[in-house]
Amino acid sequence: MIVRVYPGREAASRAGAENFVRCLKETLGRKDRFSIAVSGGSTPRRLYEILGTEFINEVEWERVNIYWGDERYVPHQDRKSNFRMFHEALLDQVSIPIGNVHPMPTHRRDPQAAADDYESLMRSHLAGSGRGHPDLPELDIVLLGMGADGHVASLFPGSKALQETRRWVVATEAPEEPRQRLSLTLSVINNAADVCLLVTGGEKAEAVERAIAGPPDALECPASAVRPTHGQVVWWLDQAAASRLEDANTRIEHPEDSTGGR
Ligand code: 6PG
C-alpha cells in the first residue's frame, strides 16, 4: 500500500493524472490495450479535466478501454450520471473511439438485468485477461473515490453485495438518492493490477484512517477491504483527508516535499 499526501485536491488530482499516464505507458509497452474502470462522484472530475487538457497528447486514447466502477441508475444525460460527469470532464475534450467507451447501461427496467448485461460485455473483452483469479478480469487500473462512510464504487456499508464472489457486476442500493446503483464487486476491484483511490476533504478523515490503518472489514468499511490480491493499492489524499493518519503507524509520503512521486 502506498499513501501519498498532497497540499490539496489540485495537487492530488494532478498526481492521479500523472500516474494514469505513467501506468498507461508502462502497460502499453507490453500489452496492446489498456483497461481502466473510472470512478464517479465529484472528486475525480479535476483529474479527468487535467487528463483532457494538459495530458491530452500523452495518451494513445485509441488503445484505451474505459469501463465504469459504478453508476447511478439514471439516464446518462441526468445530472447525477457518472457517465455524464466523465463525458463533460474528459470525453468532450478527447477523441476516443466510441467503441472504447463502455458506460454501464441504465435503461433496463430491472437493474440486475442491466448489471448482467454489463458483466457479459466485460467478459467478452476481459475474460482471462491477466494475472490473478482465472475467472476474474484484470483491469489495469481501477480508480475509486470514497464516501465519508467508507463506501467505494457503489458498495455501501452493510450491503450484501460486499460478500458477492461470483458476479462481476451487481445492482446495489445507496442510502441517498439516486438509491439504485450498479457496481463492480470487490472481487473485481481487488483483481486489478492497480487500485487507485483519490480522496480529499476533512469529512473523510475518519474513514481514511479506518480504511488505511484499521483491519479489513468490508461490511463495516468497504474501503478497508480494498486489498488487491496481486496488484498495488495507492491512495492520493489531501492533507485534510489524511489528518488522522499522522498518528497512525502508517508510512506516509509527501511527494510535494521531494522530487517525483507516484
Ligand atoms: C459515486 C461514486 C462514489 C464516490 C464517493 C465519493 O457514484 O458517487 O462512484 O463511490 O466515489 O461517493 O464521492 P465524492 O467524490 O463526490 O465525494
The DSSP secondary structure of 83-120, one letter per residue, reads HHHHIIIIITTS---GGGB-PPP--SSSHHHHHHHHHH
Q: Is the dihedral of CA 39, 236, 19, 120 positive or negative?
A: negative
Pocket of ligand 1 (CB under 6 A): 39-43, 70, 72, 82, 145-147, 151-154
Cα 188 to Cα 192: distance, rounded to the nearest angstrom? 7
Quick check: 134 and 128 in contact, CB under 8 A?
yes
- If 0-12 CB within 10 Å is exposed, 13-18 middle and 19+ buried, where does residue 12 land? buried
Substitution candidate for ligand 1 out of 146, 154, 236 with most atoms within 8 A of CB: 146
Quick check: 236 and 6 in contact, CB under 8 A?
yes
Compute CA distances 227 → 142, 146, 185, whole Å: 12, 14, 13
pLDDT in tens, the chain (262 residues): 999 999 999 999 999 999 999 999 999 999 999 999 999 999 999 999 999 999 999 999 999 999 999 999 999 999 999 999 999 999 999 999 999 999 999 999 999 999 999 999 999 999 776 788 889 999 999 999 999 999 999 999 999 999 999 999 999 999 999 999 999 999 999 999 999 999 999 999 999 999 999 999 999 999 999 999 999 999 999 999 999 997 766 788 888 765 444 4
3-state secondary structure of 154: coil
Substitution candidate for ligand 1 out of 43, 149, 185 with most atoms within 8 A of CB: 43
Quick check: 115 and 169 in contact, CB under 8 A?
yes
pTM assigned to the model: 0.95
